[in-house]
């Protein structure tokens, strides 16, 4: 399929800019607050509708039954399993969803919709659910279903385990509507197996049930971490050579609708009211944790919660405890005109906006027609950054800048020589070239040493630590 436009030379967003670093820092702070909630889930009830086809050719019911058990037995959600009929498929599903919304659509409720089955793009490049892979297969047009769910007054979480599952955001809607899909717009999803999207959901939901509340953004990051860790499988060809099959796919997170500051849907087990005394049941029903205003207050300071560190550290590939095992993305941020990027200004900005220092890593700053800054940050925070054409996705990364970590002897010597002779204050990109292994406080001490010519700008973080200890 030919791309709709030239992706390699697309410069359509070069005219967009963010006012300054502080403006982007506020956006990042709001995204972190939404991604890492520290309070309980705001919902009194969670109603789950698990959808598949009546004529199940893929064998998805085995995974759906297991997912149903997790939501029912572990999270105590209300579960309904419904199979799409082969006759009048779309209209039948519309009627079922209409009844579902009429019965459970409330501000204090969460609605969770799951679909497992075939999916493909139609001639209008819109997602279509299908019973089989054949052209004459019964189908459901996803766009109409999506529009219904976007208008719900309840928050809605949609989980799509099908091919071509990524979907476009809406311009308006009610509440928060989020989608976690098995794969991107023009890609295929793994089938029913140990490496499927649903299998990852089941494992992560089980793992998280007795821990902190889980936002949809964190769930996406954890599923992505699990799915991208799997290695390609191999089979032997007729010639005796190994043939590798790539099983790893990239699940996609989309916010269809939101309200005010970024807020991600939060999942946590609901207390089983039936086993509690009437007094306790009544207190739970009126507890502040279920009140939306209380939740908003909790989210505003959740970026400073100690639970955040635990969340990020738990998202690691098996057998690898490095920080980089937490999935990160590399983005480009275009800032208006030439920003003042001297070290003292940068440190002051970091102090005022701690979310930047805590979650983001500056990978590079360049003079352009304005100022172009490269940042890496956790996937879960990137998920909740509001759409802005001045912020561009570059790619998923698994390491820091390899050139920074392995400078040649000549370049290091030259940098040290320049540091000893220069009288101008160090720029941000010089100062932050190789200090990734330091804490924020060590960064500030190290920066002061650089400024007064006690320490070369490009020495490794281990050397910095030794130097600071001696000081």
SS3 238: coil
In a domain, 308, yes or no: no
Are residues 409 and 393 located together in one domain of the fold?
Answer: no
Q: What is the token pair recorded at 192? A: 């029913």
Prediction pTM value? 0.73
pLDDT the model gives residue 77: 97
Q: Does residue 329 share a domain with residue 183?
A: no
Find how far residue 54's CA is from the centre of its chain.
Answer: 32
Give the pLDDT of residue 212: 81
Residue 290: count other Cβ atoms within 10 Å of its Cβ: 17
Choosing from 208, 240, 269, the residue where a domain stops is 269
348, 368, 397 - which closes a domain: 397
Residues 100 and 197 both lie in one domain:
yes
Same domain, 208 and 97: yes
Question: What is the per-residue pLDDT for 401?
Answer: 84
SS3 333: strand
Residue 204 lies in a domain: yes
Same domain, 112 and 250: yes
List of the chain residues with pLDDT < 70: 1-5, 168-173, 185-193, 228-238, 240-248, 272-325, 338-347, 349-350, 355, 405-471
Q: Which range marks the domain in which residue 111 is found?
A: 42-269
Residues 6+ apart with CB under 8 A from 274: none
Q: How many domains does the chain contain in total?
A: 3
The angle subtended at Cα 83 by Cα 80 and Cα 88, nearest 5°, is 130
For the segment 296-328, what is each residue's pLDDT rounded down to a tens digit? 433 344 444 455 555 555 544 333 333 445 789
Q: Are 32 and 303 in contact (CB under 8 A)?
A: yes
Given a contact cutoff of 8 angstroms between Cβ atoms, the answer to whether 250 and 396 are in contact is yes
Which residue, 302, 418, 357, is CA-closest to 33? 302
Q: Say if 453 falls within a structural domain.
A: yes
The reply to whether 286 falls in a domain is: no
What is the DSSP code string of 391-410? EEEEEEESSS-HHHHS--HH
Based on the domain organization, do 71 and 186 belong to the same domain?
Answer: yes
Rama region for 46: left / alpha / beta (φ>0; ψ in -120 to 50; rest)? beta
- 130, 120 Cβ separation under 8 angstroms: yes
Same domain, 235 and 198: yes
- Per-residue buried b or exposed e for 433-465, using 16+ beta carbons within 10 Å of the residue's own CB: bbbbebeeebbbbbbebbbeeebbbbbbbeebb
Same domain (yes/no): 325, 242: no
Name the residue among 260, 228, 261, 224 with its Cα closest to residue 247: 228
**164 belongs to a structural domain:** yes
Q: What is the pLDDT of residue 243?
A: 53
Indicate whether 162 and 254 sit together in one domain: yes
Is 311 inside any structural domain? no
Q: Are 47 and 103 contained in the same domain? A: yes
Q: Does 463 lie in the same domain as 414?
A: yes
pLDDT of residue 287: 39
Whether residue 173 lies inside any domain: the answer is yes
CA angle 390, 387, 222 (to 5 degrees): 115
Bridge-based pairing of strands 361-367 and 371-378 is antiparallel
Q: What is the pLDDT of residue 447?
A: 53
- Does 136 lie in the same domain as 58? yes
128 inside domain:
yes
SS3 assignment, position 161: strand
Half-sphere exposure of 223 (CA within 13 A, CB side): 29
Nearest alpha-carbon partner for 375 in 319, 333, 435: 333
Structure-token pair, residue 292: 């939306």
Domain CATH for 75: 3.40.50.1460
**Start-end of H helices in 105-209:** 142-150, 197-208
Of 234, 254, 269, which marks where a domain is finished?
269
Measure the CA–CA gap between 248 and 282, rounded to whole angstroms. Answer: 47
Q: Which residue shows structure tokens 């010597």? A: 413
């Amino acid at each position: 399929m030919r791309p709709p436009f030239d992706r390699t030379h697309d410069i359509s967003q070069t005219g967009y800019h963010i006012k300054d670093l502080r403006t982007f820092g506020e956006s990042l702070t709001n995204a972190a607050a939404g991604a890492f909630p520290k309070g309980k889930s705001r919902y009194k009830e969670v109603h789950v509708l698990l959808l598949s086809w009546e004529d199940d050719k893929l064998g998805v019911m085995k995974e759906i039954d297991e997912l149903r058990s997790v939501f029912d037995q572990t999270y105590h959600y209300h579960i309904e399993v419904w199979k799409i009929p082969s006759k009048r498929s779309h209209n039948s599903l519309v009627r079922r969803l209409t009844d579902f919304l009429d019965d459970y659509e409330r501000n204090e409720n969460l609605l969770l919709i799951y679909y497992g089955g075939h999916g493909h793009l139609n001639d209008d490049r819109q997602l279509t659910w299908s019973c089989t892979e054949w052209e004459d297969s019964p189908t459901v047009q996803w766009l109409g279903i999506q529009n219904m769910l976007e208008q719900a007054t309840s928050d809605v979480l949609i989980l799509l385990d099908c091919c071509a599952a990524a979907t476009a955001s809406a311009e308006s809607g009610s509440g928060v509507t989020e989608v976690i899909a098995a794969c991107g717009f023009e890609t295929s999803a793994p089938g029913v197996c140990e490496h499927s999207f649903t299998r990852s959901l089941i494992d992560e939901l089980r793992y998280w049930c007795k821990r902190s509340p889980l936002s949809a953004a964190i769930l996406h990051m954890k599923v992505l971490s699990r799915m991208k860790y799997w290695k390609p499988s191999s089979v032997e060809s007729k010639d005796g050579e190994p043939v590798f099959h790539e099983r790893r796919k990239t699940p996609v997170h989309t916010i269809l609708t939101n309200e005010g500051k970024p807020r991600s849907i939060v999942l946590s087990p609901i207390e089983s009211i039936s086993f509690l005394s009437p007094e306790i049941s009544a207190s739970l029903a009126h507890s502040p944790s279920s009140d939306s205003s209380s939740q908003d207050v909790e989210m505003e300071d959740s970026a400073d919660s100690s639970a955040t560190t635990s969340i990020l550290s738990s998202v690691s590939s098996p057998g690898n405890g490095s920080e980089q095992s937490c999935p990160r993305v590399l983005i480009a941020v275009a800032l208006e005109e030439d920003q003042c990027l001297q070290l003292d200004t940068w440190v002051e900005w970091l102090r005022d906006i701690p979310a930047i220092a805590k979650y983001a890593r500056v990978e590079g700053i360049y003079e352009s027609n304005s100022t172009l800054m490269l940042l890496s940050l956790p996937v879960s925070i990137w998920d909740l950054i509001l759409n802005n054409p001045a912020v561009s996705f570059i790619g998923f990364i698994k390491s820091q800048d390899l050139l920074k970590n392995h400078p040649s002897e000549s370049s290091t010597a030259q940098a040290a020589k320049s540091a000893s002779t220069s009288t101008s204050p160090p720029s941000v990109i010089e100062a932050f070239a190789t200090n990734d292994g330091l804490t924020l406080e060590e960064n500030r001490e190290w920066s002061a040493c650089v400024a007064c010519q006690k320490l070369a700008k490009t020495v490794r973080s281990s050397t910095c630590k030794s130097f600071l200890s001696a000081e």
